[in-house]
Amino acid sequence: MTPIYQTSTYVQEAPGKNKGFEYARSQNPTRKALEDALAIIENGKFGLAFSSGVAATDAVIKLLEPGDEVIAASDMYGGTYRLFTKIFEKFGIKFIYIDTTNTDNIKKVVSKKTKLIWLETPTNPLMNITDIAAASIIAKEAGAWLCVDNTFATPYLQNPLDLGADIVMHSSTKYLGGHSDVIQGALMMNDTGLREKLYFIQKRCGAVPGPMDCFLVLRGIKTLHVRMKPHCENGRIVASWLRNHPKVSKVYWPGFPDHPGYAIAKKQMTDFGGMISFELKNDSLKETMRVLSSTKLFALAESLGGVESLINHPASMTHASIPREERIKNGLKDSLIRLSVGIEDVDDLLEDLGKAIG
């Protein structure tokens, strides 16, 4: 097994003459093994590991200069929105939020100042789908980079670099780690120049993961395909069961043929994953909170992608950083419940949800 090189520095042969590694912020053999594996699973040439998903996103935005513009999806992980609005706007980077599910909307706002298009597909938590290949054509014409947050799909279901993206971003905390025991992020790319720029940022800004955490993600990746099959199978069963439940009004899952993004999802993903959101017919906050607090097997917690199932209330948890008005405008209601369907026995999961919904 790849050892955990628990070291901050490396003995050198002579002053200025190292044996391939000099200081662990720049490189670490455990991290190097992970970064090589990250590149391979996304069909990329290069991988870079960061101390969190947000740190990976932060590194991408640091490619930009004041005055540059970013076109981003209006529905995405709340922490990404918070990073853009609360940290980077004040450095003079402009973010334009639009509904990217219709790529014509990107064409309408793209300009000479556009340096980056930021997509999440499927989105967290509304499971919206954007056509990556179509967005990549627009990005190329504009001379902008296309970065895709592939956390929900995972490299097992979708490979954005193959569809024309320049950078793939992951919160490795989720499915790559797979066991809810590590915080980490990743970037994968093909272009050598882009890799050099991002490596420069990784090394200079220093948001690198420790070797133990790299070991955990490296181990997680080995079973990604084994875990994703039951995540998808259980996801399909839970989504259909919810849809037939008399107390459920709406289920967000891209595997339903009448989901607006179904055709694109089918084209660019090999299956539809285990992330599901839903609303109750009684959409009072009281009833929503009651259901959220009633499950036993689905643990009430932020995060997703671990083998154990989680239940989450985006409005007060993962997406609380998005102003309510903005959230509602984008379709994220206070009554939305998000599930990360794990790999437990699906009958146990249905029984748990059944008792909670009542």
Ligand X SMILES: Cc1ncc(COP(=O)(O)O)c(C=O)c1O
110, 68 in Cβ contact below 8 A?
Answer: no
Which residue, among 234, 217, 263, has the nearest Cα to 101 in the 3D structure?
A: 263
Q: Where are the extended beta strands (E) located within the chain? A: 46-50, 69-73, 94-98, 114-120, 145-149, 167-171, 185-189, 248-252, 275-280, 299-300, 310-312, 337-340
- Among 171, 202, 277, 312, interactor with ligand X by CB under 6 A: 171
**110 vs 265, beta carbon nearer ligand X:** 265
Note whether 128 binds ligand X by CB under 6 A: no
185 touches ligand X (CB under 6 A)? yes
Question: Rounded to whole angstroms, how far apart are CA atoms 93 and 82?
Answer: 14
Half-sphere exposure of 165 (CA within 13 A, CB side): 28
Q: Look up 149 and say whether it is catalytic.
A: yes
Cα angle 130-318-234, degrees, rounded to a multiple of 5: 65
159 binds ligand X (CB under 6 A): no
Return the number of the residue (35 or 120) whose C-beta is nearest ligand X: 120
Give, as one character, the DSSP assignment of residue 282: S
CA proximity to 311, closest of 284, 288, 286: 288
Of the candidates 27, 28, 52, 154, which one interacts with ligand X according to CB under 6 A? Answer: 52
Residue 54 interacting with ligand X (CB under 6 A):
yes
227 is catalytic: no
* Residues in 80-119 that interact with ligand X by CB under 6 A: 80
The 316-345 site mask, x for binding ligand X (CB under 6 A), equals: --x---------------------------
CB of 183 to ligand X, least distance (A): 5
Determine how many CB atoms are found less than 10 A away from the CB of residue 210: 18
The two most distant CA atoms of the chain are separated, in Å, by 73
Candidates 5, 58, 77, 195; catalytic one: 77
Nearer to ligand X, 12 or 87 (CB): 87
Assess whether 77 carries a catalytic annotation. Answer: yes
Site for ligand X contains 53 (CB under 6 A): yes
Q: Does 132 bind ligand X (CB under 6 A)?
A: no
Applying CB under 6 A, which residues contact ligand X?
52-54, 77, 79-80, 120, 124, 149, 151-152, 171, 173, 183, 185, 318
Active site residues: 25, 77, 149, 174
